[in-house]
Amino acid sequence: MIGDEKRRGTAWSWCDAARGGNKGFARDVRYTAAACREVLLLSRHVLIVCTPLVASILAGILAAGDAPTLQLAYTSYRGDNAEIFLVSADGSGMRNLTRNSAEDRSPVWSPDGRHIAFVTDRDGRWEIYVTRADGSGLRNVSHSPGDDDFPTWGPYGRRLAFASDRTGDSEIYVADIAGGPALNITKSPRAYDSQPVWSPRGTMIAFLSDRTGGEDTQDIYAVRPDGHGVANLSKHTAWDGRPVWSSDGMRLAFSTHREGNIEVFSVLALGASFVNVSRNPAWDEGPSWSPKGDLVAFGSNRDGNREVYVANAAGAAPRNLTNNPAADFAPVWSPDGSTIAFISDRDGNQEVYVMNPAGGQQRNVSRSPGQDCEPAWRPR
């Protein structure tokens, strides 16, 4: 597997810890007159002229209606291996997407919500696979003799960036999901480059690198998808990790050790204007931006246990949302801003919970005797 647990610093390390070690495209709708007939049955008082174009539009509406308004993909260890599960925000519609005896983990939705990329060892090494949201159309995207990890989608859903050690060191690659060779965009053979995150506008890919001084001085870098324009954004001798873009692509939030403890900072995409968002001597980690970019949710142990906090983007007005004696962490904001998913062990094992942005209506949506982690929201 690429890197050790300290270097990875992501939700998968939480899954890994729960596991006790590191063992290791929505429906494909055919636009036919049948779609029109189905809609005509539902719309008795509306006259619809069933041209091929109308059929295409109506079938797309029907397909979109099949999916819950808010849906999560997540990794679950409810059996002997990790699988990717889907569930709606109200806990309904749960299903096993991958159904394979291998380890399947780290789901990431495509921007249009039609596909899910995930990491699997079903070929003997960690590879990046893509599937439709109904489980069909499975394909291997990375095709590597090494280990591949940390998939992240380009803004149009045609390309993926990921980390790979196929050349003996960890580099960032970009591949077209339709096939073809992957492009090495970091090309730093003596460095550890990992955890890529594609910007919402598609112009930059942020990633973690120790090229300036080793593992304890990892920085957040950015590079264009063609491999040009590499820039150090975090610029510090301490450890920085887990970058997350704001929805407008203007800022990055990340975890950092620069003040002696782990804090959540943000920085402009140009590498200036640093803001300490968490502002506490405790351990604060795992930031998630609200869709509007005005709030940041994160995990914190400032109350003696792990809780989910939220603060405004300037680092003011922090609030404890979960207020529970258990361990609550890894918040992920839903695309519409109405819900925050998080991990909690309040039932004796790690489960996926959701709540509203004020901390109310907390509920268990994974409901598993095993360990559940890595929740990822389906885009709207």
Least confident piece of the model among 21-35, 103-117, 309-323, 343-357: 21-35
The pLDDT assigned to 212 comes to 82
Whole-angstrom distance, CA of residue 66 vs CA of residue 238: 47
The pLDDT assigned to 379 comes to 95
**pLDDT greater than 90 at residue 87:** yes
Q: Are 310 and 320 in contact (CB under 8 A)?
A: no
**pLDDT greater than 90 at residue 30:** no
The pLDDT assigned to 215 comes to 63
The pLDDT assigned to 217 comes to 81
Q: Are 162 and 173 in contact (CB under 8 A)?
A: yes
Q: Are 300 and 321 in contact (CB under 8 A)?
A: no
The pLDDT assigned to 2 comes to 53
Residue with tokens 């730093």: 188
Considering only residues 234 and 213, tell me which one the structure prediction assigns the higher pLDDT: 234
Whole-angstrom distance, CA of residue 69 vs CA of residue 289: 20
Residue with tokens 């990992």: 194
Average pLDDT of the chain, as a whole number:
85
Helix (H, G, I), strand (E, B) or coil at 60: helix
- Residue spans per domain, the chain: 1-22+110-232, 27-66
Greatest alpha-carbon pair distance for the chain in Å reads: 69
Q: Are 373 and 11 in contact (CB under 8 A)?
A: yes
The pLDDT assigned to 59 comes to 43
Residue with tokens 């397909």: 63
Q: Are 173 and 160 in contact (CB under 8 A)?
A: no
Q: Looking at the domain 1-22+110-232, which fold is it?
A: Neuraminidase (2.120.10)
Q: What is the phi-psi region of residue 275: left when phi exceeds 0, alpha when psi lies from -120 to 50, beta otherwise? A: beta
What is the DSSP secondary-structure string of 102-116? Answer: S-EEEEEE-TTSSEE
